[in-house]
Structure 1
Amino acid sequence: MTLSLRWRLTLIYAGLLGLTLLFAGSLSYVALRHTLYAGLDDALRGFAEHQVRQEATLDFEPPPRVSKVLDAINRQQPIRMTVYDVGGKVKDWGPSRVGFLPQTGTRQVGAERVFTLRTASGWIQTSQSNQGVQAALRQILRLELLGVPLLLLLALALGYLLADRALRPVDQVSDLAARLARSGHSGERVPQAPGTDELARLTRTINDMLGKLDSQMARERLFAHASAHELRTPISVIRAATTLALEQERTPEQSREVLEQVESVSEDMSSLIGRLMTLASATRPPARQSVNLADVTLMVSELHANETHGKQLHLQVTVNDAETTGDFGALVLAAGNLLQNAIKYSPLRSLIHISCDADTVSARLTVQDAGPGIPADELPRVTQPFQRGSQTQGLSGAGLGLALVQAVAESQGGHLELLNADAGGLRATLILPRLVASDRIER
């Protein structure tokens, strides 16, 4: 039978507590025993030393009748004292319970604790039963043997309650994961655990992950729906053209026209599929390498120089050192899309400014055009696949360029910022984390 994590934690806690109580109880028992016997030994020693002082100050022998009374009193005292001469013969006080022991110090003889002191005239022996000490120790032992099991049972109950409370967020995560696996919907969230401990961080991390997963799934559903919508039109055109061509006899010239139409539509569809594949691959984690956005800016400017000249546009390039980390090819592709958009929507003989710079936090690549811009209420949606601004009507394009740039930026820890410039036109800025010295990677 496999125990649950709650019971394993509870039993471990109870076992450690039991060992701790056993160790602490043993130490306390030994310490108490030592204290009680030390007190008994001190009393015996004090009694003997007091007799030595009396012998030094008293130089008369009490009458026999007084001696008998003193002996009777001595026998009734808890501490029995006997005075011996040098040869071990009893000189004074009552008879010893254990007999003459000609060795100084303390010892245990049966149930008697005995202290013997050597004096100038002989020996003084004091003794007392240790039954009181043993009774106290037995009582302490009984209390410990009774108390430890009760404490362990209480510890089991409290330990289980604490483990149950601590693991409740984990149960909620497990239940949520099971529901998500059954339903396939990621809209639910785990109740946030209070505080800043490990479980609170776990629930926050799970909720953040679910939020990103939900957004990713929503983008993928939109991507799939929009892709099907965009591909349906060229496929319908091809099917209609080929169906009409097969329904009746056509001259070679007419057949050639149909083939040219099919070829043109196929090229558009191939271009669209290529962009879709590029967008899909752009979301993959990039290879981690050091990239300077100055190199990206210069390469993109050279790659699209002919397009700029063909539309009689003036391209102004400003580069500053702007190191970051990411995939050089993906960044060139993203920056190229920004520049292509600027070329497409800029009027003839206008200025396009492409630049890069950096601060202590981020590296930025900016493309500023002089086109119509994008209405402010449309800026959030134009970074979604197949979404275009209202100012782009009549211009070719599938609405994938900014979506591709956004996907590349997010995959490399950054984001795309779109702003309408005060002087007109759109300012598109690719913002990425700055490369610091500790993250520097050899290329």
Structure 2
Amino acid sequence: MTLRWRLTLYSALVSSVIVLLSALLIFFSLRTSLLRGLDASLREAATIAATQLGGDEGAQISPESASDRVQSKLPGSTVLLVFNKAGVRVDEVGVPRVRTPLVPGYVTLSRERIYTLRLPQGGWVQASRSVAETNGTLTRAVRVLLFGLPPLLLFGVVAGYLLADRSLRPVDAVARLAASIATSGHYQQRVPLSPGQDEMARLTLTVNAMLERLASTIDREKAFALAAAHELRTPLSVLKGSADLSLERPRTPEQYVRTLETVQASSAEMLHITESLLALARTNSELERLPTDLAGVITQAVAGQLAFASSQGMHLHLNPDVVMVDADAALLELAVSNLIRNSLTYGFRGGEVWVRSAADGPSALIEVSDDGPGLSDDDLGRVVQPFQRGHRQQVIRGAGLGLALVNAIAEQHGGTFTLDRRPGGGLTTELRFPSVRQERRDRPSTRTAGKQATVPK
């Protein structure tokens, strides 16, 4: 059974219960109202009789004119009986159909409603009226309800189905789109937006947003694969060309050594690209996060780059503040090492690089700055993508994966990675994470140069 029919049957069942309960409520309300009206008319008739007809012990039957006056004031076929103190009937209006003891209050006997009123002087007045009229009204009401309920229920079923069909059309559109994408692979298709602001409208918006995100991811992965193939093609071409050239004819040992050096350099470049691609791919996996001190992370990263800084003739400045975050320490060290390496590679020879960790409000901050040439506005937003480098960096060999890896690690930890031009020249990069707790302890800035530097532990 389809969801439409299930919803229709559920709504029909609920509607039936509501309608039946409403019919019962109407019936009993009408019955109570009619009985109250009948009782009120009997009480009114008894009161009129008490004031118009005789009721004392020695009274005789009232004149015909008095009975006529009372009869004209009585509603319907009401019968009145007047008794003296001894219980002897002394007056009457109409023909009594039943006899009942003189007990104050209401009683129903043989389809007759009777009201007995005790008079102040000791006599009695009984007013009676048939309940046939009341029962007839109730019977007509029941007949109307019985004949009116089926059409109402049928109308409810039809209306429920139409409403369910209208409500589920966006769901059908989503299902058809998913089936079409699964069959054709054309993920550029989108669901027609449902009008309004209801749940179905939000469903279509959410599905389209999801498809946009998936399409963006697929396009980015395609571009990534093409760029990776292009980057790997160059060292592979060098390897093949060197091997082909060496095999054309016998070479001297020195020529073979030069060829092997070329092969070694190209292999090292390919290995670096492959390792960067593997690290970038691992950023999509789940992390085992532990409380990590950012001061220790940047200290280890700086220590690992001292030799390269010495070869570049550049100086590293370390300013670690203790800030705790939930993170993978090895990945954070890899990200910071890439930032430092990037500053050392593309900075001016003999320049400066500053590395610090700090607590910045509710966030934990790692900042790497240099006094190098920096990046243009266009390059700032582009270099965080894989295989993208700044215009000046094009003249230096590199895969363009370092900053993309840093950005992926930041996102994997729920943080952000930003680049900006440093006041006075150079580049400032920031890694910002949610902090666990702040045990801030300021340490003096330490200037380190080459292998002779002492790195604070």
**Shorter-chain-normalised TM-score: which range?**
0.7 to 0.9
Do the aligned partners of 2:55 and 2:123 also contact (CA within 8 Å) in 1? no
Following superposition, the deviation at residue 342 of structure 1 comes to 0.4
Q: Is the 8 A contact 1:319 1:355 kept in 2?
A: yes
How do residues 11-410 of structure 1 correspond to structure 2 at under 5 angstroms? 11-54=9-52, 55=54, 60-62=59-61, 78-84=77-83, 90-93=89-92, 94-118=94-118, 123-193=124-194, 197-249=198-250, 255=256, 257-320=258-321, 322-360=323-361, 362-410=363-411
Q: Deviations over 1:225-261 (max 9, x none)?
A: 1111122222233333334444545566655554444
- Is this contact kept in 2: 1:74–1:80, CA < 8 A? no
User: Against the structure 1 CA distance between its residues 23 and 38, is the aligned structure 2 distance closer, same or farther, given a 3 Å change threshold?
Assistant: same
CA contact (8 A) 1:360 1:434 kept: no
Distance 2:350 2:80 in 1: 126
Separation in 2, partners of 1:224, 1:203: 31
CA distance in 1, matches of 2:242, 2:368: 41
**1:184-229 residue CA offsets vs partner (Å, 9 max, x unmatched):** 3433343444555443443343333223222221221111111111
Aligned partners of 1:256, 1:284: CA distance in 2, in Å? 42
Q: Which amino acid aligns with 1:175?
A: R
Tell me: CA distance 1:298–1:166, structure 2 relative to 1, closer, same or farther (3 Å): farther
Residues 319 and 245 of structure 1: CA distance in aligned 2, closer, same or farther (over 3 Å): closer
Deviates more, 1:28-37 or 1:86-95: 86-95
What CA deviation, in whole Å up to 9, does each residue of 1:109-154 have, x standing for no partner?
2332122345565643221111221222122222322333333233
In the aligned structure 1, how far is the partner of 2:418 from the partner of 2:268?
A: 32
In 2, distance between residues paired with 1:375 and 1:202? Answer: 41
Tell me if the contact between 2:103 and 2:116 (Cα under 8 Å) persists in the aligned partners.
yes
> Is contact 2:60-2:90 (8 Å) kept?
no
Whole-Å separation in 2 of the counterparts to 1:348 and 1:69:
131
Q: Over residues 170-196 of structure 1, what are the superposed CA-to-partner deviations in whole Å (9 max), with x where a residue is unaligned?
A: 233223322322333433343444555
Shift of 1:102: 4.3
Q: Deviations over 1:251-272 (max 9, x none)?
A: 6665555444433322321222
User: For the residues of structure 1 that align with 2:310 and 2:262, how far apart are their CA atoms?
Assistant: 30
The answer to whether the 8 Å contact 2:363/2:433 transfers is yes
In 2: Cα distance, 1:63 partner to 1:188 partner: 98
CA RMSD between the two structures = 3.3
Residues 352 and 367 in structure 1, CA contact (< 8 A), matched pair in contact too: yes
The residue type paired with residue 80 of structure 2 is: M
Name which of structure 1's ranges 253-262 and 132-141 shifts more when overlaid on structure 2. 253-262
> Would the aligned equivalents of 1:288 and 1:326 in 2 still touch at CA under 8 Å?
yes
The alignment partner of 1:374 has SS state of coil
Counterpart of 1:393 in 2: which secondary structure?
helix
Work out whether residues 366 and 427 of structure 1, in 8 Å CA contact, stay in contact via their aligned partners in 2: yes
Change in Cα spacing, 1:124 to 1:410, as seen in structure 2 (3 Å) is same
Distance verdict in 2 for CA 1:249–1:67, change over 3 Å? closer
Q: Distance in 2 between matches of 1:230 and 1:91?
A: 125
Q: So what's the TM-score if we normalise by structure 2?
A: 0.83
Contact (CA 8 Å) 2:290, 2:327: kept in 1 or not?
yes
- Length-normalised TM-score, structure 1: 0.85
Query: How big is the shift at 1:435?
Result: 4.8
**Aligned residue identity for 1:81:** L
CA distance in 2 between counterparts of 1:210 and 1:324 reads 34
* Matched-pair contact (CA < 8 Å) for 1:245–1:258: yes
CA distance in 1, matches of 2:204, 2:322: 40
* 1:322 shift after superposition: 4.6
More deviation in 390-399 or 263-272?
263-272
Give the Cα separation in 1 of the matches to 2:299 and 2:186: 45
SS in 2 for 1:416: strand
Structure 2: any 5+ residue segments left out of the alignment?
439-457
Q: CA 1:324/1:11 → structure 2, altered by over 3 Å: closer, same or farther? A: farther
Instruction: Tell me: CA distance 1:188–1:357, structure 2 relative to 1, closer, same or farther (3 Å).
Output: farther
Question: Does the Cα contact within 8 Å between 2:49 and 2:80 map onto a contact in 1?
Answer: no
Q: Aligned partners of 2:363 and 2:181: how far apart in 1?
A: 37
Higher alpha-carbon deviation: 234-243 or 50-59: 50-59
2:85–2:124 CA contact under 8 A, matched in 1 = yes
Q: 1:73 to 1:223 in 2, by over 3 A?
A: closer
- How big is each residue's C-alpha offset from its partner over 1:145-169, in whole Å with a ceiling of 9 and x where there is no partner? 2333333233333333333333333
Residues 88 and 100, structure 1, Cα contact 8 Å, conserved in 2: no
**Aligned partner of residue 188 in structure 2, secondary structure:** coil
* Change in 2 beyond 3 A, CA 1:240/1:91: same
1:3-40 CA-partner distances (Å, limit 9, x unpaired): 2x233223222221221121122112111101110111
Q: Distance in 2 between matches of 1:193 and 1:73?
A: 70
| Cα displacement (A) at 1:273 | 0.9
Query: Structure 1, residues 344-369: CA drift from partner, whole Å, max 9, x if none?
Result: 11222211112233444543322111
Deviations 1:278-306 (A, max 9, x none): 11112334334444534433332233233
Structure 1 counterpart SS, 2:339: helix
Question: What is the aligned partner in structure 2 of residue 441 from structure 1?
Answer: none
